[in-house]
């Protein structure tokens, strides 16, 4: 008993100290605190109380870490679930470093029948009645405040009957913990006996019986005399599903006709503000939502106040319809049955810091929908405000609405002319922040890299200056962007109410202010855009320098291509082809050479750089002419070939004038392009597209090419000759190539160097893959054929069979073969061995200290085995590496792959981790662009191979159906030996030995017996002793190799030692292993005494005597 109490005290403290506070609200993972709360503490309490009738359960959250984990002790006469009745419960508050032992109440029935407000009052009444009856003087009486309670557990406080709190700083000793628990449980059971004997109702049910019936319409209304509930709705400022939905249905609004069918709303407006969540009971009409932009846990600002015009909780089917109708389902798989219509909506004029100080808040709540308790302990709210209604009236700013066209009206009165740029920036930032636009509209059209390029060009620039050609190119781009966007900027300036700065129009003022805001947000300290600078650029009052040797151009620009040039010694090539050729080249991420260029193809080496030159005239006559120039580049990874009859490029099509074939391929380690790749369909081959479609895609592909005139001019400036346009492929002078790469680099974007959209449709060459392996009767070729079919079907593969049959060798070789023969699909292969302690931390990843962090305080997400197959951790480049997992049956498969089940089906998954402020995502490939830091894209052809030993069938059965159905199971059997004659066995072993290149002659010279036959007979005896138990040829190979290296030992003893060394380890833990041992002992060439001794020591069975083993 004393030991148990000590363990319980330690476990309570451990649960508090180890709880992952930073992950509250995110998906649960393996953790010491979780194990303590859900397993160890309930077990210790059950042992301590020694009452088998009590139900003891613990939870750290349903799928996600909860802010208040619990361990409950329930008397079945009163309740068996914490949703109802009265029970003893430990409530943990890890954010406060304390745990509270309470007698508490279930709230679900009360909430469902009466709503949150009435439920709170009834809970308090019940708590008072029960605490008065119990008279537990050593315990405090409720209610109790839980500052970090979420929407789900916000009624823990008023539901508290009596309690006693423990803090980590002053945790009681084991004796006190035990005494407190036993006292409270005894009082609880006495209460249950008195108030809930068989056939009677509990006190909570008595309250329900006495209450008046409530309406079941799903909607509730705040009466004119009651105080409205105000719900906080803090939304993270970074991109995410909730932010997207907020922009769509609150800021932009939803057309009425979209939701009329799923929800018959009472509003007549054509555009409505809608919000939704998963709250158990609907808000009441007349309540309020206070929205905020949350920046971390302790920063941010309140933005909008909205009155609930209608609220309801939809049934599951209608909720799904509604979620899809308003677009919430586009970014989340969740449904939101609690929907609220908000009207009117005001800008909130509420200072966050002052408001938090008034209420005693320390940070944002843990969920995005929680009622504000204005009466909370430490609150001075009612000394500052006469009422909640008075507070609401005070914080209402300008009302927000929609005009007849569905556009949002001006957020506030239009601004007058600005007196300074600083005043303009302040006003523009405020108006953008309060609008549905935010800063994202311009940022998405320009991009951070362009803003940084402009800033570099603007650094030190003065109107009428002489600028470099590079700076002039940036200014040309800035001017073109403004002229293109000017009509839209004019409309937005009008909607936002933007004023004028000096002689600038509102549109120019908005553009200037918006760019400055983006520069500030990107923390760019130099080259800030100003009114004089923008005016000079728009009017082109500067001059362009003709000095090509200026100091700023002497150093190479920073880019992966230039870095590769400086760190290695690559040969730089140019490759010239028609524009439609390049469409296919980027589709397959490879360049194709014809026979005439075979010699050059042979000379190209890994690490060389190739520049892509597109001519103006397409090879397909029906396709429009394009702008000629440089459109990309790549760093060579490897070379391969495709079948001559395989047609990828348009000029390979049968009947083309040249009837060409391009069988020689070059693939890339890193690949770059200048085009707009999001407008190109890389899933479809050029033959499946119309000429009009191809023309459109070629415009996107060549849209930002470095024009040929500029290319030729650069070559003439650094050398005495122009660009060699006529030859298909040619090595360039280093000076030309380097200058061209520098000029091209600012236009390039990195794209996937493998064909991420393509499925595997090739073949596997069995002779190559099985070289050195032997499978009798064509078994090997059949296995490879099955794997080929599985790959083409898009399934993953598990190779099953006895140990030693070659499963691992086949899987490894297939992975290497794919990377070697199909490098445009696969960038490599990785082999690993499963272990018993694998979890999703190993397969998916998790938080680890940064490698440069000596103290280990800064944690960052580190990808695991699977995620590392999709992206290079150093360069962020898209990868596609086959993963081979050996001995999969060693791992707890569901635990190790739980989050990856969906990934194995090629579906998107959002992980409970963040990287650079955004949630880590695994998604099927939807674009050719480089993945962001938090994105891991799953190529269409990615595959996982695993091996599974069936020697212990229980391992196979431990795999869930959810896992198994994502794989194709292919059997790799051991050869059938039963019933074979001696000469057949000898011939079989001889074939194996020849394939393994073993020196059998030397083995035969040292003995007058037949070594191969002896080994074969032992193999036959081992495999025929019991059903479904066999060893593969790899074990036999080990035996033969051992025998050839130990020729000084007598043959029978040597052979027996080989059996002990290589066969006995395969029998450990196998039922009926004694039969196998005795079957081997019956072979004439075995030293039975030695075998018997070893069997007793290693396997606890006898080889000579008959036993029950």
DSSP-derived secondary structure for 592-609: EE-GGGHHHHHH--TT-E
Could you tell me whether strands 967-971 and 70-74 are parallel, antiparallel, or unpaired per DSSP bridges?
A: unpaired
- pLDDT tens-digit readout, 1056-1087: 999 999 999 988 878 888 999 999 999 989 99
Write down the pLDDT at residue 62: 65
Write down the pLDDT at residue 110: 63
Confidence bin at 219 (pLDDT 50/70/90): very low
Write down the pLDDT at residue 764: 95
Taking 80 as the threshold, does the pLDDT of residue 984 lie above it?
Answer: yes
Write down the pLDDT at residue 152: 46
Question: 766-971 architecture in CATH?
Answer: 3-Layer(aba) Sandwich (3.40)
The 10 Å CB-count burial string (b at 16+, else e) for 25-40 is: ebbbbebebbbbbbeb
Three-state DSSP class for residue 799: strand
Confidence bin at 987 (pLDDT 50/70/90): very high
Confidence bin at 545 (pLDDT 50/70/90): confident
Taking 90 as the threshold, does the pLDDT of residue 282 lie above it?
Answer: no
Report the C-alpha gap between 650 and 656 in whole angstroms: 8
Of 233-242, 585-594, 961-970, which one has max mean pLDDT? 585-594
Confidence bin at 1006 (pLDDT 50/70/90): low
DSSP state of 889: G
Write down the pLDDT at residue 597: 87
2-210, CATH topology level: Metal Transport, Frataxin; Chain A (3.30.920)
Q: Which residue has the higher pLDDT, 146 or 643?
A: 643
Confidence bin at 260 (pLDDT 50/70/90): low
Q: Residue 865's closest CA among 894, 889, 838?
A: 838
Lowest mean pLDDT among 494-508, 695-709, 720-734, 899-913: 899-913
DSSP 245-289: HHIIIIIS-EEHHHHTTT---S---SEEEEEEE--SSPPEET-EE
Confidence bin at 561 (pLDDT 50/70/90): very high
Write down the pLDDT at residue 772: 86
Taking 70 as the threshold, does the pLDDT of residue 916 lie above it?
Answer: yes
Quote the percentage of the chain above a pLDDT of 70.
86
Write down the pLDDT at residue 970: 95
Q: Which residue has the higher pLDDT, 890 or 86?
A: 86
Task: Evaluate whether 2-210 and 766-971 have a shared fold.
Answer: no
DSSP run (H or E) holding 812: helix 807-821
Q: Which residue has the higher pLDDT, 390 or 503?
A: 390
Six-digit token string for 489: 């900027």
Six-digit token string for 612: 């892509």
Distances (CA, A) of 563 to 270, 566, 569, 609, 612: 56, 5, 11, 12, 19
Write down the pLDDT at residue 857: 63
Domain ranges of the chain: 2-210, 220-400, 421-430+437-553, 560-750, 766-971, 982-1099
Report the C-alpha gap between 120 and 111 in whole angstroms: 8
Write down the pLDDT at residue 850: 65
How many helices (H) and strands (E) are present in the chain, helices listed first? Answer: 41, 36
220-400, CATH topology level: ph1033 like fold (3.10.590)
560-750, CATH topology level: ph1033 like fold (3.10.590)
Write down the pLDDT at residue 400: 65
Confidence bin at 165 (pLDDT 50/70/90): very high
**Cα(first)–Cα(last) distance of the chain, in Å?**
41
- pLDDT tens-digit readout, 88-140: 999 999 988 899 999 999 876 565 455 556 677 788 888 888 988 888 989 99
- Which whole number is the average pLDDT over 212-234? 59
Taking 60 as the threshold, does the pLDDT of residue 175 lie above it?
Answer: yes
- Which whole number is the average pLDDT over 864-890? 90
What mean pLDDT is reported for the chain?
83
- pLDDT tens-digit readout, 28-86: 778 889 989 998 999 999 988 887 789 999 988 765 688 889 999 999 888 887 878 89
- Which whole number is the average pLDDT over 523-543? 86
Write down the pLDDT at residue 197: 46
DSSP state of 329: G
Confidence bin at 679 (pLDDT 50/70/90): confident
Write down the pLDDT at residue 5: 45
Taking 90 as the threshold, does the pLDDT of residue 919 lie above it?
Answer: no
Quote the percentage of the chain above a pLDDT of 90.
34
- Which whole number is the average pLDDT over 403-431? 71
What is the model's pTM?
A: 0.52
Q: Based on C-alpha coordinates, what's the Rg of the chain?
A: 37
Confidence bin at 943 (pLDDT 50/70/90): very high
Taking 80 as the threshold, does the pLDDT of residue 409 lie above it?
Answer: no
Of 273-282, 537-546, 790-799, which one has max mean pLDDT? 790-799
Residue 1019 sits at the vertex; the CA angle it makes with 1016 and 1020, to the nearest 5 degrees, is: 85
Of 212-221, 383-392, 888-897, which one has max mean pLDDT? 383-392
């Amino acid at each position: 008993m004393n030991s148990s109490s000590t363990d319980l005290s330690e476990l309570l403290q451990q649960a508090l100290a180890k709880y992952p506070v930073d992950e509250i609200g995110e998906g649960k993972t393996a953790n010491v605190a979780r194990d303590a709360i859900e397993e160890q503490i309930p077990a210790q309490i059950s042992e301590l109380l020694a009452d088998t009738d009590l139900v003891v359960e613990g939870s750290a959250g349903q799928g996600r870490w909860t802010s208040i984990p619990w361990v409950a002790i329930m008397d079945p006469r009163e309740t068996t679930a914490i949703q109802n009745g009265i029970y003893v419960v430990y409530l943990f508050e890890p954010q406060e470093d304390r745990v509270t032992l309470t007698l508490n109440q279930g709230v679900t029935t009360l909430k469902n029948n009466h709503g949150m407000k009435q439920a709170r009052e009834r809970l308090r009444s019940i708590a008072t009645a029960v605490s008065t009856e119990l008279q537990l003087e050593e315990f405090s009486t409720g209610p109790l405040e839980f500052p970090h309670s979420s929407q789900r557990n916000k009624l823990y406080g008023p539901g508290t009957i009596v309690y006693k709190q423990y803090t980590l700083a002053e945790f009681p000793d084991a004796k006190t913990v035990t005494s407190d628990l036993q006292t409270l449980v005894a009082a609880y059971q006495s209460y249950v006996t008195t108030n809930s004997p068989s056939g009677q109702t509990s006190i909570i049910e008595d309250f329900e019986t006495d209450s008046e019936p409530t309406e079941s319409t799903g909607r509730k209304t705040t009466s004119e005399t009651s105080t409205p509930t105000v719900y906080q709705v803090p939304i993270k400022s970074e991109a995410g599903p909730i932010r997207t939905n907020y922009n769509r249905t609150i800021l932009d609004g939803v057309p009425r006709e979209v939701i009329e069918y799923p929800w018959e709303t009472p509003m007549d407006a054509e555009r409505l503000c809608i919000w939704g969540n998963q709250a158990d009971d609907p808000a009441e009409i007349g309540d309020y939502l206070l929205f905020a932009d949350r920046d971390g846990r302790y920063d941010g600002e309140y933005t909008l106040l909205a009155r609930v015009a209608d609220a309801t909780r939809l049934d599951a089917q209608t909720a799904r319809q509604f979620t899809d109708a308003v677009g919430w389902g586009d970014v989340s798989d969740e449904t939101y049955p609690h929907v609220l219509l908000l009207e009117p909506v005001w800008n909130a004029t509420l200072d966050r810091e002052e408001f938090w100080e008034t209420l005693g808040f320390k940070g944002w709540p843990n969920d995005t929908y929680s009622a504000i308790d204005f009466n909370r302990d430490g609150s001075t709210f009612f000394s500052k405000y006469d009422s909640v209604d008075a507070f609401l009236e005070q914080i209402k700013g300008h009302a927000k609405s929609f005009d007849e066209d569905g556009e949002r009206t001006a957020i506030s009165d239009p601004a007058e002319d600005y007196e300074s740029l600083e005043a303009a920036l302040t006003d523009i930032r405020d108006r953008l922040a309060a609008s549905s636009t935010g800063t994202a509209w311009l940022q998405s059209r320009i991009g951070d890299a362009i803003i940084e390029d402009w800033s570099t060009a603007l650094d030190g620039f003065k109107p009428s200056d002489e600028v470099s050609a590079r700076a002039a190119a940036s200014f040309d781009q800035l001017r073109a962007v403004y002229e293109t966007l000017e009509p839209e900027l004019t409309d937005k300036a009008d909607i936002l109410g933007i004023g004028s700065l000096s002689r600038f129009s509102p549109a120019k003022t908005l553009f200037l202010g918006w760019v400055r805001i983006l520069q500030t947000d990107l923390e760019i300290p130099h080259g800030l855009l100003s009114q004089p600078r923008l005016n000079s650029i728009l009017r082109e009052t500067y001059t362009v320098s003709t000095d090509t040797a200026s100091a700023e151009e002497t150093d190479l620009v920073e880019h992966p291509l230039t870095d590769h040039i400086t760190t290695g010694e690559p040969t730089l090539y140019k490759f010239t082809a028609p524009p439609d050729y390049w469409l296919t080249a980027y589709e397959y991420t490879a360049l194709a050479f014809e026979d005439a260029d075979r010699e050059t193809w042979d000379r190209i080496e890994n690490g060389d750089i190739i520049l892509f030159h597109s001519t103006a005239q397409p090879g397909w006559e029906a396709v429009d002419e394009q702008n000629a120039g440089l459109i990309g580049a790549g760093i060579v990874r490897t070379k391969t070939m495709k079948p001559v009859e395989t047609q990828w490029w348009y000029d390979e099509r049968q009947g083309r004038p040249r009837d060409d074939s391009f069988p020689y391929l070059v693939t890339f380690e890193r690949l770059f392009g200048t085009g707009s790749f999001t407008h190109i369909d890389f899933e479809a081959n050029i033959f499946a597209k119309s000429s009009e479609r191809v023309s459109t895609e070629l415009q996107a592909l060549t849209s930002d090419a470095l024009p040929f005139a500029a290319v030729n001019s650069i070559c003439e400036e650094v050398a005495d000759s122009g660009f060699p346009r006529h030859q298909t492929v040619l090595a360039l002078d280093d000076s030309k190539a380097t200058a061209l790469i520098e000029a091209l680099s600012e236009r390039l974007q990195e794209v996937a160097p493998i064909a991420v959209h393509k499925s595997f449709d090739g073949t596997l060459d069995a002779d190559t893959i099985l070289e050195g392996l032997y499978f009798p009767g064509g078994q090997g070729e059949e296995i490879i054929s099955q794997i080929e079919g599985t790959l083409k079907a898009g399934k993953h593969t598990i190779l099953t069979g006895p140990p030693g049959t070659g499963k691992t060798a086949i899987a490894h070789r297939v992975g290497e073969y794919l990377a070697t023969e199909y490098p445009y699909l696969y960038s490599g292969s990785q082999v690993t061995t499963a272990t018993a302690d694998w979890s999703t931390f190993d397969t998916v990843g998790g938080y680890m200290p940064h490698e440069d962090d000596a103290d280990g305080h800064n944690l960052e997400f580190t990808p695991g085995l699977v995620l590392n197959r999709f992206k290079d951790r150093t360069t962020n480049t898209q990868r596609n590496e086959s993963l081979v997992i050996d001995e999969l049956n060693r791992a707890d498969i569901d635990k190790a792959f739980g989050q990856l089940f969906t990934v194995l089906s090629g579906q998107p998954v959002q992980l409970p981790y963040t990287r650079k402020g955004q949630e880590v995502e695994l998604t099927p490939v939807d674009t050719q662009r480089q993945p962001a830091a938090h994105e891991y894209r799953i190529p269409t052809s990615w595959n996982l191979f695993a091996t599974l030993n069936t020697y212990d069938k229980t391992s196979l059965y431990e795999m869930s159906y959810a896992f198994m159905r994502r794989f194709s199971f292919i059997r790799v059997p051991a050869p059938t030996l039963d019933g074979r004659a001696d000469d057949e066995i000898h011939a079989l072993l001889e074939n194996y030995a020849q394939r393994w290149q073993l020196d059998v002659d030397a083995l035969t010279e040292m003995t007058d017996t037949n070594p191969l036959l002896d080994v074969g007979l032992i193999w036959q005896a081992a495999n025929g002793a019991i059903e479904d138990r066999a060893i593969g040829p790899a074990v036999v190979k080990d035996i033969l190799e051992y025998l050839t290296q130990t020729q000084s030992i007598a043959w029978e003893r040597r052979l027996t030692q080989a059996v002990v060394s290589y066969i006995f380890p395969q029998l450990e833990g196998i039922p009926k292993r004694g039969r196998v041992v005795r079957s081997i002992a019956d072979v004439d060439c075995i030293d039975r005494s030695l075998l018997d001794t070893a069997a007793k020591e290693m396997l606890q069975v006898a080889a000579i005597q008959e036993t029950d083993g």
